[in-house]
Structure 1
Amino acid sequence: MKQPIEELPPKLQEIIKLFQAVQESKAKYEQLLFYGRNLKPLETQYKTIENKVQGCVSQVWVRAYLDSDKNVIFEADSDSVLTKGLAALLVQGLSGRPVEEILRVSPDFAVLLGLQQSLTPSRNNGFLNMLKLMQKKALQLYVESEKGGNSINDLAEDNQVGNSDLRLKNDGGIGKSNVKESPSALESSVGNGSELGNRGTRIKERLEKELRPIELEVEDISYQHAGHAGVKGSNGETHFNVKVVSEEFEGKSLVKRHRFIYSLLQDELQNGLHALSIVAKTPSEVDPQ
C-alpha cells in the first residue's frame, strides 16, 4: 500500500501535484531540467566521499545540516543537469522539515511524480539512492545533536514528539525491512562475512538482553567507510546496521522505538560509534512472505 500524498511534507506535495498536472512525458522531462538548472551549486568543500550518493550514473553529492529550529536543510549538486533536477526535487521538497517528517517519506512517492517513462532504470535507482542518503544524513544529524545536547535517556523518557524525533524505516535509509518473522528462534547475522568484533558483540548482547527479540540482525558495515575518521579506541567498528523484531515495541511509536535503542547504546555512541541504521518492528508488522 502506497503512502498517501497527504502524509508527505507540504512542499513535496506541491511538487508532485505540479508534475501530475503535466501530462506529456517530454514536458515532465523539461520541467525536471528546469529544476536542475536552478539548483544552487554546492561548494567544493562539501563534495566529499561521505556526501556522495552511491549507485548513481552521474556524480551526486548531498549535504545536510540543522537550522536553529532543528529542522533539516539540504543542499545538493551533480555533474549532470538531469540528475541535478532529481536532486533539486528532493532538496526543495524536504528542506526545512523536522527529522521525523523526512524519515517518514516512503520511496514509493516517486511513482506519484510520473517520471518513470522519462528516466532510465538506473536514473530511477539513483533517485531513490539520493533519498536514502538524505534520510541517513537526517539520522546522523539526530545522533550528533544528541551527543552534544540532552542525553538520550532524557529523550527516551520524554512523552512529547518534537523536531528532533526520528523514525527510520529501512536498512541504510529507506524501504521495507528484510527481517522475516520466525517466532520460534532468534536469528543473528553479521556483515562482510566475518564475526562481530568487540563493539558489535556488545551491541548484540545488549539488545538481546533488554529487548528479548524474536529476530535480531547486527551488521558491521564499517568496511564500507574506509578512510572515515575514526575515534581512538573504536578499533574501526564505527558503522552498524541493526534490525530488531521485538514485542517490546508494541504500543510504542517508531520514534520511541529508536529513542529506546539509542538509550540502550548510549555508551557506544559516546565512544566511537559514528552511525547506527535501525529497523525496529513488532512481530505483527513483519511482512508475511
Structure 2
Amino acid sequence: MQAVEELPPKLKNTVELFQSVQDPRTKYEQLLYYGRKLNPLGNEFKTRENKVEGCVSQVWVRAYLDDSKNVWFEADSDAVLTKGLAALLVEGLSGNSPPEIVKISPDFIHIMGLNQSLSPSRNNGFLNMFKLMQRKALQLYIESEKSEDQKELRSLGSNGSSVEAQQIEVSEKPSESADVKSHENEMGFTVLSERGERIIEKLERELVPIELEVEDVSYQHAGHMGAKGEGGETHFNLRIVSDKFEGKSLIKRHRLVYDLLKEELDSGLHALSIVAKTPSEN
C-alpha cells in the first residue's frame, strides 16, 4: 500500500483530513460541502469522452495542461454526493505533473475511510473517476511529448537552408531490402562508399557506440528527386546503440545524429533512416 507521505501535497492533505474524521456522517457532510463548492462544468465539455463510465450518476471530467505542463481537472455531476467525490479528486490531483498523477495508487481511497461511508456502487464510481483522471493525465503527457518532438523535428530545417530543403526520413525501423547482396563484394563483406566510411568515423568518434550498422541504400532511390550527391551516395540506413542516448527522446536522438552529420547533409546526403537505442533498450 502506498504511504500517505508519498502522495502529492494537496491530495495528502485531503486524505489526512478524512483520515482524522472518525464519524461516517461527518465525512458524508464534508463530501456534500465539497460538492456545493465545485464550479459547474460547461455543457461543451459534457461529452462522451469526458463521461465516467460505471457511475450510478452522470459524471464528467475534463483535463488540460497549464504552461508548466501540470494537469488541471474540472468535473461535474448531476448528483450532489457524486459531485463531492469528483470535487475531492479535482482538488487533490490538480496542479501535479502527469507522471506524478499516473503513479498514484488508489490505496488512498481506502485510507480515507470512504468505503465505510459510501455504498459499493458509489465506491466503484469514485474509483472509476480516479482511473479516468489518470488516463487523461497520461494522454495529455503523450500528446505533449509528441508535440515537443514535432517542434524539434521541424526545427531541424531551421539551422541551414540546405537542411531545410531536404526531406529527412525518420523511422524506427530501417528500410528492408531483398537486394542487399548487390552491395557486397566477392568475399561477402558490405562495401561502403567514402560517405559511408565518413559517417562511421564521425559516429564512432562522437557517440562511442556499442553497436553501429551503416547501410548505403542509395541504389534503391536512383532517379528519384533528391537522389543527387557525391557518387549517388544519398540514402543510408543507420542502426546505432549508444550510452549517449540515455534520457533522450527519439527525436532528440535523431537530432544528435543529424547534427553530427551536418556536413554530409549539406553536401548531398538526402535521407537517413535511423534506429537509435540505448544499451538497455537493445
Paired amino acid for 1:51: N
Superposed displacement of residue 151, structure 1: 5.3
Q: How far does residue 153 in structure 1 lie from its aligned partner after superposition?
A: 10
Q: Percent identity?
A: 65
Structure 1 runs of 4+ aligned residues shifted over 6 Å read none
Matches within 5 A, 1:118-197: 118-150=117-149
Pairing 1:23-102 to 2, within 5 Å after superposition: 23-102=22-101
Counterpart in the other structure of 1:116: 115
Deviations 1:71-119 (A, max 9, x none): 0000000001100111011100000111111011111110111111210
Distance change >3 Å, CA 149–CA 85, structure 1 → 2: same
Is the contact between residue 146 and residue 152 of structure 1 (CA under 8 Å) also seen in structure 2? Answer: no
Distance of 2:93 and 2:116 partners within structure 1? 24
Q: Pick closer, same or farther for the CA change 1:122–1:152 going to 2, 3 Å.
A: farther
User: Take 2:151 and 2:2, find their aligned partners in 1: how far apart are those partners?
Assistant: 30
How far 1:145 sits from its partner (Å)? 1.3
Contact 2:99 2:138 in 1 (8 A): no
Deviation digits for residues 206-245 of structure 1, max 9, x if unmatched? Answer: 9xxxxxxxxxxxxxxxxxxxxxxxxxxxxxxxxxxxxxxx
Q: TM-score with structure 1 length normalisation?
A: 0.52
User: Which secondary structure does the structure 2 equivalent of 1:106 belong to?
Assistant: coil
Q: Tell me the amino acid that sits aligned with residue 48 of structure 2.
A: I
Q: Name the CA distance, whole Å, in 2 between partners of 1:144 and 1:129.
A: 22
Shift in Å, 1:150: 2.4
Q: Which structure has the highest helix share of the two?
A: 2
CA distance in 1, matches of 2:144, 2:59: 25
SS class of match (2:149): coil
Q: Distance in 2 between matches of 1:152 and 1:4?
A: 39
CA distance in 1, matches of 2:131, 2:150: 27
Contact kept, 8 Å, 1:61 with 1:76, in 2: the verdict is yes
- Separation in 1, partners of 2:102, 2:150: 21
Q: Is the 8 A contact 1:3 1:108 kept in 2?
A: yes
Q: Deviations over 1:126-150 (max 9, x none)?
A: 1010011001001111122122222
Contact 2:35 2:84 in 1 (8 A): yes
Cα distance in 2 for partners of 1:44, 1:116 equals: 31
The root-mean-square deviation of aligned C-alpha atoms, in Å, is 2.6
Aligned equivalents of 1:74, 1:37: Cα separation in 2: 17
Structure 1, unpaired ranges of 5+: 155-205, 207-255, 264-289
Q: Which residue of 2 aligns with 1:218?
A: none
> Cα deviations across residues 164-183 of structure 1 (Å, max 9, x unaligned)?
xxxxxxxxxxxxxxxxxxxx
Alpha-carbon shift at residue 152 of structure 1 (Å):
11
The residue aligned with 2:265 is: none
Question: What letter matches 2:66 in structure 1?
Answer: D
Match of 2:262 in 1: none
Distance in 2, Cα, partners of 1:73 & 1:131:
13
On the 8 A contact 1:56/1:125 being kept in 2, the answer is: yes
* 8 Å CA contact retained: 1:59, 1:78: yes
Q: TM-score, normalised by structure 2?
A: 0.53
- 3-state SS in 2 of match to 1:49: coil
